[in-house]
């Protein structure tokens, strides 16, 4: 069954947090909490230490001390930025810092403050107008899980919950510490679906499904159905790294196709950005529920991939104007850099002297525009020029139309044919960043675009006196 997208999703801007690396709450340091890590064999690390890849995945057991108390204390920072949907990577009991190897889904990890911290964080977020999403790792778990350990000992009641071979068991990407659940067994399905339901009933607004492609279409559909049984306003997004179509069983996917297309175009390896974006829009019915990714805990940071800040701003502008939900990875708004995991998971920089404040203000302005403009939230999408890239976001009401132009080369003057017959001659398009004005005549809009620049142009009715040529145009 395909469900309508919850109305609040159209208004959302996501902020992803890797809890161990965002903020330590209650005035503590990682040293104050050392026993929570060392008793499980972990190592504590100073906040400003840059994470590095180490043999035998030792970096997965280095802890910086971030917790849910810390996230709650930084709500005002997030509110000032303008984001309104917080997605955290897993928070359940687990031996690692990333917690994609869950021991117990019904326990919030004490390293993050336990259930008390979770309830406080949820309450604080809700009081300040935020939605909250959790990370559902339902394909695999930790080998320290009691059921799996029981199955290893040959207990029949747990053997079928996993897939054992003659010389081992099925594990995610053959990682020994992450055995896979056997979703084909009814007790497994019911247990995991009950986990989904439990946290939604506590007030969580949705789930991101880890490695949704491994979980499969049928089980993604089951999870979505269970979530919607709690409320049709719950939101389910799955992780998949392919072209975004064929995943209508969920509300949306993490749109890495968007990321690869935009970065490829700006790095000159992908030539037809218009086709890439248009085909994804045309073939993806749930595109408005998909996440417009530029970076995440699984990729290099966007500042590392696009060190030229002017080009990076073009990518960010596209992220906020393409159909879908804009997605900000913690620290990207202040220019944090980082390579592949674990380098992309450094401690959040809280020293404001180290912030790129120009970039942060740029994000704030785009977030405000995105949340204000109807066309950018619900408008249709049509590419109207290839180089520079230009597209029309057509809104239900003509004077909400927005045209976006993105130019990665030298300054250009162009004429755009705008395929909306409701736009009358003499309609003014105002640049929402610069307040410059351009006029459309005969369906042709003539504009200039700065080098490595962009325009977000909003249709307006500027006429003299009381005359209104749009009085009978819808």
Query: How do residues 22-80 score in pLDDT, each as one tens digit?
Result: 999 999 999 999 999 998 899 999 999 999 999 989 999 999 999 999 999 999 999 99
- pLDDT < 50 stretches in the chain: none
Each residue of 399-448: pLDDT tens digit? Answer: 999 999 999 999 999 999 999 999 999 999 999 999 999 999 999 999 99
* Beta pairing, strands 85-88 & 131-136: parallel
- Residues tagged active-site: 210, 239
- What is the model's pLDDT at position 307? 98
Residue 418 tokens read as 């705008």
Encoding tokens for residue 132? 């909250």
Instruction: For the chain, list the domains and their CATH numbers.
Output: 9-139+181-372 (3.20.20.80), 378-460 (2.60.40.1180)
**Whole-angstrom Cα distance, residue 265 to residue 271?**
6
pLDDT for the residue numbered 462: 86
Distances (CA, A) of 162 to 50, 210, 230: 37, 18, 28
Quote the pLDDT of residue 411: 93
């Amino acid at each position: 069954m395909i469900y309508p997208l919850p109305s609040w999703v159209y208004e959302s801007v996501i902020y992803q947090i890797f809890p161990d690396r965002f903020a330590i709450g209650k005035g503590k340091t990682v040293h104050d909490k050392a026993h929570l890590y060392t008793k499980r064999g972990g190592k504590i690390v100073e906040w400003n230490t840059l994470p590095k890849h180490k043999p035998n995945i030792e970096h997965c057991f280095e802890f910086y001390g971030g917790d849910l108390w810390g996230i709650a204390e930084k709500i005002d920072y997030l509110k000032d930025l303008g984001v309104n949907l917080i997605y955290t990577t897993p928070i359940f009991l687990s031996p690692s810092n990333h917690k994609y190897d869950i021991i117990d889904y019904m326990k919030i990890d004490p390293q993050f403050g336990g259930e008390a911290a979770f309830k406080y964080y949820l309450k604080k977020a809700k009081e300040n107008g935020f939605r909250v999403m959790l990370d559902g790792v339902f394909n695999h778990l930790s080998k320290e899980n009691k059921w799996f350990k029981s199955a290893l000992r040959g207990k029949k009641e747990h053997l079928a919950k996993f897939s054992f071979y003659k010389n081992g068991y099925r594990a995610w990407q053959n990682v020994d510490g992450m055995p896979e659940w056997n979703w084909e067994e009814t007790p497994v399905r019911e247990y995991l679906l009950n986990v989904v339901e439990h946290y939604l009933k506590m007030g969580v607004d949705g789930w991101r499904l880890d490695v949704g492609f491994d979980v499969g279409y049928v089980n993604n559909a089951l999870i979505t159905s269970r979530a919607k049984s709690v409320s049709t306003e719950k939101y389910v997004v799955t992780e998949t790294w392919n072209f975004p179509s064929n995943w209508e069983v969920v509300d949306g996917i993490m749109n890495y196709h968007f990321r690869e297309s935009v970065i490829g175009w700006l790095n000159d390896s992908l030539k037809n950005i218009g086709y890439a974006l248009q085909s994804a829009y045309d073939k993806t019915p749930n595109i408005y529920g998909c996440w417009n990714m530029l970076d995440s805990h699984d990729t290099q940071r966007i500042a590392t991939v696009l060190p030229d800040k002017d080009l990076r701003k073009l990518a960010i502008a596209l992220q906020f104007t393409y159909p879908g939900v804009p997605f900000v990875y913690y620290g990207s708004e202040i220019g944090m850099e980082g390579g592949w995991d674990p380098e992309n998971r450094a401690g959040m920089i809280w020293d404001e002297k180290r912030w790129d404040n120009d970039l942060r203000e740029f994000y704030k302005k785009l977030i405000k525009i995105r949340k204000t403009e109807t066309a950018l939230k619900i408008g249709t999408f049509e590419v109207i020029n290839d180089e520079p890239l230009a597209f029309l976001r057509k809104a239900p009401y003509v004077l909400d139309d927005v045209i976006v132009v993105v130019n990665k080369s030298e300054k250009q003057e162009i004429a755009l044919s705008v395929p909306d017959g409701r736009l009358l001659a003499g309609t003014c398009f105002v640049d929402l960043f610069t307040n410059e004005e351009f006029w459309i005549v005969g369906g042709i809009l003539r504009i200039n675009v700065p080098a490595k620049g962009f325009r977000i142009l909003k249709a307006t009715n500027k006429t003299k006196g009381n005359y209104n040529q749009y009085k009978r145009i819808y």
